[in-house]
Structure 1
Amino acid sequence: MSHSPAGAARRKLLLLAALPALLIAIAPIVYLVARATAGGGLQSLEASTIGPATIRTFVLAILVAVGAVGIGVPLAVLTIRTDLPLRRVALVLGALPLVIPSYVGALALLGALGPRGLLAQALEPLGVFRLPTIDGLLGSTIVLVLFTYPYVLLLTAAALRRVDPALEQAARGMGRGSLDTFVRVTLPQIRSAVIAGALLAALYAMSDFGVVSLLRCTTLTREAFLRYDALYDPAGAAAVGLVLAALALLMVGAEQWTVRGSTIAARRRVRAREATTPLELRRTARLGASAFVVTIISLALILPLAILIWWALTLIGDASLLSQLVDALPAAANAIGVSSAAAIVCLVLALPVAALVTRSSGRLPRWIESVSYVGYALPGIVVGLGLVFFAIRTAPFLYQTVALVVLAYVVRLLPQAISGARSGWERVDPRFEQAARGMGRSASGTLFRVTLPLAAPGVLTGAALVVLTAIKELPATLLLRPNGFETPATIIWQKTNVAEYSSAAIPALLLIAISAIPVYFLLIRPEARPRP
């Protein structure tokens, strides 16, 4: 941004416009600290309870991150760098578990492989009447790995597309094998993307509420909800939330320290037609790779959908089917409405931050952007508790309103909108804006006629991510929703809470269907575009 008086004025205006995003991001933490300290919540924490829950949460996050990397990185390499049959289809299908909420995946896993699941029923004629339980830490890890690896897959695939293939060709030309080339040449260049994907998987595991509740794994998230909902100990819940927030922020700090100083060896963009010829897999390797891909897609996508469809089919002819549809359709409309509202608010708040960060220098814009990311590191239960205390103490007219639900989504998901808007803004050459202003256009005219149309792909990607995540949000919705306000996620929670698994099939399928809409714009539509 120019240092002229006009440029300085625009910078001050952007700083002022970015302040709401900053205040919204830090408000839940401020209120959690106030509630936990004023209500004696910190003193009420018992080491015998909170210690094991903290260790279990940390172990779960690490296991999920390692598992997600163990699946996501090989899938990305196989679909981007090899001649695997139908590799583009495999990439899309491998990422589609994003449309399935993890708690729906846990529900399907229980229905298929649980002690009294479909597999146990099929084995009864053979004398097997009960299978081992799959709950606890092990079951939670399996489910969360299967539904978080797409974060690693997508980020790693995008990074692999930017890697200069000439470096890999040179390494192989010097006699290095494929594995040695990947470890010594490719991996250092995609390291930041892999770590970022692992962080997203770890944060998701730490913030998860549905899976650990269904599979009876007592983590900090479940402990906070139980203290607030069952024991009605809001101060204790706030204290547990602070422990969880500290653990999440520690994880973010560790990620930043890990990637500090890492650089991409090849920074120039590589056009698709200049990319190296896909690595030819030998027959045995191709069979093994195909079996790996098919197994992962079957477990993470086909099995959950098949179980839900089977349960839905068993309801045909049941009198309750119509009533379930009647309940689920308004709930789906509610989810679409609040998630769309959250996306709009996020965009309004994100655009000034993105413009400030990309069009001005200095520490203050970077600091504002960093602080605005705090909400994404906070689990939904923590954000929900913070907003409950905020509404009761400061804005009682917001308590148990749809507006407070939207605000919770905004606090948590604003970073997704900022990331998308920033990537869009970075694609706009400042010279275009300067030329528009030189032709007499006002700042607002330049924004709406030049900048926003060019930045639209990134901006809309951020909005689609907000909608996708908000539609599936469970703990914050449970805490903040008005009486009688339901979404498919809350209906699924109610049904599974009383072990009515088959009755949860209709809202679960409906939730997956509406989640597929933003995923189409995020994944399938870009993959369908012709490559240059």
Structure 2
Amino acid sequence: MTRAVAVGSGRRLRYPPLRLAAAFAVALLSLVPLLYVVIGTIELGWDEAVALVWRPRVGELLVNTVTLTVLGMVASAIIGTGAAWLVERTSLPGRGVWTGLMAAPLAVPAFVNSFGWYSLTPAVEGLGGAVLITTLSYFPLVYLPVAAVLRGVDPAFEEMSRALGNGPWRTFFRVVLPQLRPALLGGVLLVGLHLLAEFGALQSLRFETFTTAIYDSFKSTFNGGAATMLAGVLVLGCLLLLLAELRLAGRARVARVGAGAARRLVAHPLGRWAVPAIAAMVLLVLLALGVPLFSLGYWLVTGTSTAFPLGALAQTAGTSIGLGLLGAVATTALAFPVAWLSVRHLGRLSRVIERSTYIGNSLPGIVVALALITLAINVLPGLYQTTVMLVAAYAILFMPRAMVSLRAALTQLPPELDDAARALGARPAGVLWRVTVPLIARGLGSGAALVFLAVVTELTSTLLLAPIGTQTLATEFWSYSYSIKYGAAAPYAVLMILISAPAAYLLTREARR
């Protein structure tokens, strides 16, 4: 008989020294931008810091940022969970096709998506367009983990609930949703952090948030004090998101222990709702993929600046792929000890270390870049304008993408398997490479794919930190689109999508498994 186990907070709070040291070093790297903001605030002094924060302008930015973040998170949660339920748990035809289409928007960067909309119509400028376009870009971050959990949930729990007299909605909220909670909250957290730090799409849509204001401060007046204080407010927003997710996530264990195997899921028949469900999914695909792809095709054909410089395209594509692979491997490797510690050794210290890795993702790339430049100039001058520093920026910015996937995989892995391996005489390193890594390989692959997608399309940090002469598809696209040379920008956007597509496909395979 299968049994679900719930545990409290504390399983082995004695931390392994080597893994604790590795996790602590990763946390220190992640906190470099925060230290930069804190030191900058101290140098300003209390009076000037308060004067820079306590302004009507900051109030407007706060309202814009909070409104966008909340609406985007809610919309992404509803769309991502609803789409995952339709695809994985109903009789919706073409499950494999819909799974691929739901992950495909990750291959279209948010600033390319916004380009596709605003280059066709200025009606998308402002809050409404910002919420629409960022939601269409980021809802797969909720869809993918929720879909994976829905596919792996044992239907016996739902059947028992129905046998006890609970209806389908009550069963969903009392039985299914608690099992989805870690994946759902992790995905929503990623969406919120991305919205706090989003720059390219919002700058194009002329919707001002803290991120766009920080960029404008440095670009126009190089007002470092004002930009630092705005970044400090963003850090507070990130901390609030992390605390909210931590409180809502709880500590219930979802790993399944027991004899036997889960039965095959039985699809819920849609009946008369089949046509509306299919129509809703088609509309979602058209909005998320159809509009930007149509726009790119339109400008490729009609743009007066359209050109295909094969040498430049090949060089920038190779650079983007190389940096994407380096960033994915480095970030996933750095995230592993932190994720392992947070799951296997629940405690206050492990939670603080794990939460610290999310802070950099909420800050604009320009703040992360300036923090690393300051560190290099004052402490490590040999690293200034090197690929190592650029990859470090990617790790700081995109650590949460790898962390969420690794945490989900490790949470589903019963710790009793580690105990059994040690009881049979395996050393810790042997347990790691022979038991843990093979069983969470899918989580590692998903995390690396998510990071690769982010690195290939990263813009602001690459502009500031890339070695002299290094150009990527994202920076070239931004340069041409900012100059209103839409035809010249389109080939770089198309290449970005083509390069990102295999990573998005890998994510769909993991969801189907």
Relative to the length of structure 2, the TM-score reads 0.86
Candidates 275, 279, 302, aligned match of 1:287: 275
Gaps of 5+ in 1: 1-6, 116-132
Partner SS for 2:221: coil
* Alpha-carbon offset, residue 448 of structure 1: 4.9
Q: Does 1:519 align with 2:508?
A: no
2:135 partner letter: V
Residue by residue over 1:499-519, the C-alpha shift from the partner in whole angstroms, topping out at 9 and shown as x without a partner, is: 222322111111111111222
Question: Which residue does 1:382 correspond to in 2?
Answer: 367
Q: Offset of 1:401 from its aligned partner? A: 3.3
Deviation of residue 24 (structure 1)? 0.3
How many correspondences in the alignment? Answer: 496
- Map 1:63-102 onto structure 2 (within 5 A): 63-102=71-110
Does residue 228 (structure 1) correspond to residue 218 (structure 2)? The answer is yes
Q: Is the 8 A contact 1:437 1:446 kept in 2?
A: no
Give the distance between the partners of 1:199 and 1:308, measured in 2 at CA: 31
Q: Contact between 1:53 and 1:220, CA under 8 Å: does it hold in 2?
A: yes
Aligned-partner Cα distance in 2 for 1:302–1:272:
41
Q: Distance in 2 between matches of 1:45 and 1:219?
A: 14
- Shifted more, 443-452 versus 487-496: the winner is 443-452
Residues 89-147 of structure 1 show CA distances to partners (whole Å, capped at 9, x for unaligned) of 212211211111111110111233x04xxxxxxxxxxxxxxxxx220111111101111
Q: Distance in 2 between matches of 1:252 and 1:308?
A: 37
Structure showing greater relative contact order (alpha-carbon pairs closer than 8 Å, 6 or more residues apart) = 2
Compute the displacement of 1:17 (Å): 3.1
Q: How does 1:35-434 map to 2 (within 5 A)?
A: 35-39=40-44, 42=49, 43-45=51-53, 47-112=55-120, 114-115=121-122, 133-170=123-160, 172=162, 178-260=168-250, 263=252, 274-283=263-272, 285-314=273-302, 321-323=307-309, 325-357=310-342, 363-421=348-406, 427=413, 429-431=417-419, 433-434=421-422
CA shift for structure 1 position 394:
3.0
- CA RMSD for the aligned pairs? 3.2
CA deviations 1:299-357 (Å, max 9, x no partner) are: 10122122212322346xx785233x433322222222222222232244334445545
| Cα shift at 1:55 | 1.1
Q: Is the 8 A contact 2:390 2:465 kept in 1?
A: yes
Q: Please, which of 450, 455, 470 is the counterpart of residue 455 of structure 2?
A: 470
Partner Cα distance (1:351, 1:379) in 2: 24
> Displacement of 1:287 after TM fit?
0.7
Matches of 2:296 and 2:329, distance apart in 1: 32
| Whole-angstrom CA distance in 1 between matches of 2:302 and 2:291 | 17
Per the alignment, residue 480 of structure 1 pairs with: 465
Kindly state the Cα deviation for residue 219 of structure 1 after the two structures are TM-superposed.
Answer: 0.3
**Cα gap change, 1:67/1:210 in structure 2, threshold over 3 Å: closer, same or farther?**
same
CA gap 1:175/1:351 in 2 versus in 1, 3 angstroms: closer
Q: C-alpha distance in 2, partners of 1:313/1:522?
A: 32
Please name the residue that 2:28 is paired with. 23
| Pairwise CA distance, 1:365 | 3.7
* Higher mean C-alpha deviation, range 511-520 or range 335-344: 335-344
Aligned 8 A contact 1:35 1:389 in 2? no
Residues 431 and 253 from structure 1, CA distance in 2 versus in 1: closer, same or farther, beyond 3 angstroms? closer
Alpha-carbon distance, 1:59 to partner: 0.4
Letter in 2 for 1:29: L
Q: Structure 1-normalised TM-score?
A: 0.83
Cα shift readout 1:346-379 (whole Å, capped 9, x = no counterpart)? 2443344455456656544443333333333444
Seen in structure 2, the aligned counterparts of structure 1 residues 450 and 183 have a Cα distance that, compared at 3 Å, is: closer
Contact 2:300 2:306 in 1 (8 A): no
1:141–1:422: structure 2 CA closer, same or farther, 3 Å change rule? Answer: closer
Paired with 1:168 and 1:381, the residues of 2 have a C-alpha distance of: 48
CA–CA distance in 2 between the matches of 1:20 and 1:204? 24
CA change 1:386–1:319 in 2 (3 A) is closer
Structure 1 residues 237 and 398, CA gap change in structure 2 (3 angstroms): farther
| Distance in 2, Cα, partners of 1:223 & 1:483 | 26
**Gaps spanning 5+ residues in structure 2: where?**
1-11
Give the Cα separation in 2 of the matches to 1:23 and 1:387: 13
Give the conservation status (yes or no) of the 8 Å contact 1:437–1:443.
Answer: no
Counterpart-to-counterpart distance in 2, 1:21 and 1:265: 27
Q: Alpha-carbon deviations, 1:31-85, whole Å to 9, x = none? A: 1211233146724446121110111000000111121123122211111121111
Distance in 2, Cα, partners of 1:526 & 1:499: 39
Change (3 A) 1:245 1:479: farther
Deviates more, 1:407-416 or 1:288-297: 407-416
The answer as to whether partners of 1:60 and 1:205 remain within 8 angstroms in 2 is yes
Distance in 2 (CA, whole Å) between partners of 1:490 and 1:503 is 13
Q: Report the counterpart of residue 502 of structure 1 in structure 2.
A: 487
Instruction: Note the alpha carbon deviations across 1:227-255, whole angstroms, 9 max, x for none.
Output: 11221112221221111111122122122
- Whole-angstrom distance in 1 between the partners of 2:194 and 2:457: 12
Q: Which moved more, 1:359-368 or 1:85-94?
A: 359-368
2-structure distance, mates of 1:355, 1:253: 20
